[in-house]
Amino acid sequence: MIKIVDKPIVYCDVDDTLVLWTQEHVPEDEKDTNLVLIQDASGPVGVWPHKKHIEMLRHFNARGHTVAVWSQGGSDWAEAVVKALHLEDIVDIILPKPYWFIDDIPSNVFMTESQRIWIDPKTQRISRIKPTNWSPLEDESK
């Protein structure tokens, strides 16, 4: 059993969040970013680091948050990416992305909308997850 110290935790995905699979998804202000080769089970894989999101993790770490990195590709892939990006000094936990979330309350009860972020990999648009009582008929500016 692993016990994590009681402090804020930020969970960050790998694919199309920390690294981008196609150069067309690299934000305009990061076009100077170099391709990074990461050793995968099938051989070297080229990805582009997403500087803005890496910097975001550095800020969370500097504010004392526990930083967890996960991937649907599994913990080995997440670890390979963390090492290739030289983030070992700020990442506390590496794990696979969960398949299930089981709790007695929905996440919108213990996490505000601003804490639940979805970043579109194509547009880099940051979206807030709508609360469960949100209606598409409501004004989108709220």
Q: What is the pTM of this model?
A: 0.78
The widest CA-to-CA distance across the chain, in whole angstroms, is 49
What topology is assigned to 9-99 in CATH?
Rossmann fold (3.40.50)
Tens-place pLDDT, residues 21-42: 888 878 888 888 888 999 888 8
State the pairing for strand pair 117-119/126-128.
Answer: antiparallel
- Under a CB-based contact definition with an 8 Å cutoff, are residues 58 and 49 in contact? no
Domain ranges, ordered by start, for the chain: 9-99
Q: Which amino acid, one-letter code, is at 63?
A: R
Taking the chain, what is the end-to-end CA distance rounded to the nearest angstrom?
42
Encoding tokens for residue 104? 């007695």
- Cβ count near 115 (within 10 Å): 13
Tens-place pLDDT, residues 34-64: 889 998 888 899 999 999 899 999 999 999 9
